[in-house]
Amino acid sequence: MRLSQFFLPLIKENPSEAQIVSHRLMLRSGMIKQQAAGIYSWLPLGLAVLRNIENIVVDELNKAGCSHLLMPTLQPTELWKESGRYDALGKEMLRFNDRADRELLYSPTNEEMVVDIFRSYVKSYKQLPLTLYQIQWKFRDEVRPRFGVMRGREFLMKDAYSFHVDVTDAVREYWKMYDVYHAIFKRMGLQTIAVSAETGAIGGDLSHEFHVLAETGESAVYYDKKFDDLREGKIEISGDEQRKLYAAADEMHKADNCPVPADQLRSARGIEVGQVFFLGDKYTKAMNVTIPDAAGTPFTPQMGCYGIGVSRLVGAIIEASHDDNGIIWPESVAPFKVGIINLRVGDAKCDSFCATLYDTLKSKGITVLYDDTDERAGAKFASMDLIGLPWQVTVGPKGAEKGVVELKNRKSGEKVELSLESALAKLLG
């Protein structure tokens, strides 16, 4: 993409409404625009990151055997009367009437609708286990939307729902998804800690929240110090052993009754990027779902559900990865992998070097943003740092004369002069 054609409305001053760094950087780098409290437009740079995050989620869930579908954002309220949750979410749930005076709601979550799909088609225990998921916009009329996309009213969620013959199989799937979640967040460059959690309005008996530790996190989490040692690479613990270590969300933590001695206990702030639930038969029972088992006897399927805050993740990744100059995107989610800076547009050598870089990288499937504008050098460098692309290639008249370009790694700050060929080889390698 050529910057001269790309819609990238950068903001120089720090927006006064933004209290945390990710919100500030998302506004400044032209990723989002607020349209109403907690409701945002995703501008091209922001959308590119959102799509990359979605793709990682889809890839990992498909690998785990989940089936991707898409439900509407609007639902008839009858389904929620059937499940008994019509009043459970109170004012958080947005309801309105259509022209025929039928009451609709904007989905805050989709347990009811997915159960309705399930009961329409699944008629045999042989079709289980089954996991259906979607990535779809949700609306919750939060009392206090804040921190940009972190706590929005409209937000993008991945929600998965699994169906099982019995509790044992539902719990097996629960722990499988727990592992899949760690893998998903790791691919985005995030270290997450899973803490036992309350099930709230979603329901069920067993739940974990996945947190990215950050000072700006909205939640308090408590955990065994061994998690810090693990993160710092001081110890190694198998996945099974990690599950047994103490880690609890604020409302689950009992200071007087904690199994971890005080000097072994750590507390921190966390951003909740996902939550998994074992639901039991809460929804299938309320909505009268039964299917025949092997002997032909009807049984009520067990369920689990698994959410990821896709739009919140964009902010969480920035909280975890930035410096004073701007965002530092992990390659896996970066809106473009490479930024090319042409320091003298119109100079034959500079233009030709840049064209070679741009065309070659693009032809190899690498995403590139080429700054072909006539801004001054300082502004170009600052903008490139702000938007945080992992690699920057700077082409100036002096270097081009010598046959070299400068390659900079955004994360380490390391800069090297390389021939055009070596720079390309490095970026393609």
User: Smallest distance from the beta carbon of 147 to ligand 5CA, in angstroms?
Assistant: 9
Site for ligand 5CA in 94-113 (CB under 6 A): 109, 111
By beta-carbon proximity to ligand 5CA, the closer residue of 203 and 326 is 203
In eight-state DSSP terms, residue 2 is B
Task: Specify the residue, 286 or 366, whose C-beta has the smaller distance to ligand 5CA.
Answer: 286
- Binding to ligand 5CA, residues 352-411 (CB under 6 A): none
Regarding 305 and contact with ligand 5CA (CB under 6 A), the answer is yes
Q: Which of residues 165-204 bind ligand 5CA (CB under 6 A)?
A: 202
Nearer to ligand 5CA, 159 or 319 (CB): 159
The residue whose two tokens read 């990821």 is 308
- CA–CA gap between residue 342 and residue 349 (Å, rounded): 10
Which C-beta is closer to ligand 5CA: that of 157 or that of 180?
A: 157
DSSP assignment, residue 388?
A: T
Q: How many helices (H) and strands (E) does the chain have?
A: 13, 23
239: phi then psi, degrees, rounded to nearest 5 = -55, -45
Q: Euclidean distance between the first and final Cα of the chain, in Å?
A: 21
Dihedral in degrees, nearest 10, Cα atoms 202, 242, 133, 139? 40
Choices 151-159, 292-300, 344-352, 380-388; region in contact with ligand 5CA by CB under 6 A: 151-159
- Cα–Cα distance between 146 and 20 in angstroms, integer? 10
DSSP lists the bridge partners of residue 350 as none
φ, ψ of residue 151 in degrees (nearest 5): -130, 85
**Closest residue (Cβ) to ligand 5CA?**
309
DSSP code at position 384? H
Q: Considering the rule CB under 6 A, would residue 155 count as an interface residue with ligand 5CA?
A: yes
Q: What are phi and psi of 155, to 5 degrees?
A: -150, 155
- For 427, the token pair is 């970026």
Q: Which stretch binds ligand 5CA (CB under 6 A): 65-73, 80-88, 150-158, 294-302?
A: 150-158
Give me the helices (H) in 77-158, please.
78-83, 111-121
- Choice from 280, 301, 309, 388 touching ligand 5CA (CB under 6 A): 309
Q: How far apart are CA 241 and CA 236, in angstroms?
A: 10
Helices in 282-413 by DSSP H: which ranges?
282-286, 310-320, 348-363, 377-387, 397-402
Site residues (CB under 6 A) for ligand 5CA, limited to 233-272 = 272
Measured from the CB atom, the residue of 152 and 280 that comes closer to ligand 5CA is 152
From 52, 83, 275, 383, residue interacting with ligand 5CA (rule: CB under 6 A): 275
Q: Are 149 and 312 in contact (CB under 8 A)?
A: yes
Examine residue 79 and tell whether it contacts ligand 5CA (CB under 6 A): no
Strand-pair partners of 291: 299
Q: Does 163 bind ligand 5CA (CB under 6 A)?
A: no
CB 63 → ligand 5CA: shortest distance, Å?
19
Q: Which listed range, 157-165, 231-239, 352-360, 370-378, lies at the site for ligand 5CA (CB under 6 A)? A: 157-165
Looking at 31, 273, 327, 354, which residue binds ligand 5CA (CB under 6 A)?
273
Closest CA to 276 of 188, 176, 191, 183: 176
The 3-state DSSP composition of the chain as helix, strand, coil percent (nearest 5) reads 35, 30, 35
Q: Radius of gyration over alpha carbons of the chain, in Å?
A: 25
Among 30, 307, 335, 390, binds ligand 5CA (CB under 6 A): 307
Q: Do residues 169 and 129 make contact, with C-beta atoms less than 8 angstroms apart?
A: yes
Report in angstroms how near the CB of residue 376 gets to ligand 5CA at its nearest. 38
Mask for 124-143, x = binds ligand 5CA (CB under 6 A): ----------------x-x-
Applying CB under 6 A, which of residues 164, 312, 322, 410 lies at the interface with ligand 5CA?
312
Q: Look up tokens 């070596």; give the residue.
A: 422
Which region, judged by CB under 6 A, interacts with ligand 5CA, from 180-188, 287-295, 302-310, 344-352? Answer: 302-310
For residue 152, the minimal CB distance to ligand 5CA (Å) is 4
Of 141 and 371, the one with the shorter C-beta distance to ligand 5CA is 141
159 binds ligand 5CA (CB under 6 A): yes
Q: Which residues bind ligand 5CA (CB under 6 A)?
A: 109, 111, 140, 142, 151-152, 155, 157, 159-160, 202, 272-275, 305-307, 309, 311-312
